[in-house]
Amino acid sequence: MTWMTTVIPGAEFALEHLLQLALSLIAGGAIGLERERSNQPAGLRTHILIALGATLLMQLSRYIALPPTGGDPGRIAAQVVSGIGFLGAGAILRFGGNVKGLTTAASIWIVAALGLVIGGGLYLLATAATLLVLFTLTTLNQLEKRMFPDRSVKVLEVNLRDTRINTDTIVAILRRHGIHVSNIDVTQALEKKTVKMKFIVKIAEDTDLKALYDEINAVDTVYQVKLEQLR
């Protein structure tokens, strides 16, 4: 009976697990929401699932370490740390010499770490770390833009309903507006007869974006133009 009581968690232990999962949902959700608002490939649900998964695995690690098995509680956690890199790599996109998604990949890694910390019962540390991550992603991002405006590289996405369009048409428009193009990525969907063009550009702060959008939209078959920060 003593063995059963030791190995099988009681109500108090189960409640702690549920609270840990709730805290993981909040931490992962807060960071994921910021990524979602920035139109990143890994957003709200992805970060929540990573945090919950890491917490569950850490809970399992602690359970394995209970008597009579007494296993190593760090083995599963170590696999999470090494394995999360593969998921983070999926958020990284390369455009020539420019890379987008490194910040999101880092947020995936830190969310997994938060899940492990919460599963380990270090709630104050997890809360402080979550606030620091949000501070880094929001406040420091705005500060960085003000301090280094010349480093503000953006991605201009132009979607067209014709696979025959030449990129020179869009590039000529960009140059007329004094916009420097460093790389171009073109994706064709032949079955839908559409083309997605992504231009890595440097745009001056005083650029008339409305005039730019109007000129690009005036090109036949263009149906969508988007501009976002390269992060």
Domain edges within the chain: 2-146, 149-229
Give the whole-angstrom CA distance, residue 37 versus residue 149.
Answer: 21
pLDDT digits (tens, 9 = 90+) for 113-131: 999 999 888 889 899 999 9
CA-closest candidate to residue 217, choices 229, 208, 205, 226: 226
- Kindly tell me the sign of the dihedral angle through the C-alpha atoms of 16, 17, 22, 26: positive
Q: What is the pTM of this model?
A: 0.58
pLDDT at residue 77 in the model: 79
In the CATH hierarchy, which top-level class contains the domain 149-229? alpha beta
Query: Could you tell me where the DSSP H helices lie in 90-219?
Result: 102-119, 123-137, 139-147, 167-176, 209-217
CA distances from 58 to 23, 79, 116, 127, 185 (A): 14, 11, 5, 17, 41
Per-residue pLDDT of the chain (231 residues; tens, 9 = 90+): 333 334 445 556 678 888 999 999 999 999 988 888 776 767 788 889 889 889 988 888 887 777 766 667 777 778 887 778 777 776 666 554 455 677 888 888 889 999 999 988 888 989 999 999 999 888 887 777 677 665 567 888 999 887 676 788 888 999 999 888 877 888 887 777 888 888 888 887 778 888 999 999 988 888 889 888 765
pLDDT digits (tens, 9 = 90+) for 168-195: 888 899 999 988 887 788 888 777 788 8
CA-closest candidate to residue 118, choices 215, 16, 30, 199: 16
pLDDT at residue 69 in the model: 65
Reported as type and span, the H/E element at residue 194 is: strand 194-202
How many residues make up the chain in this entry? 231
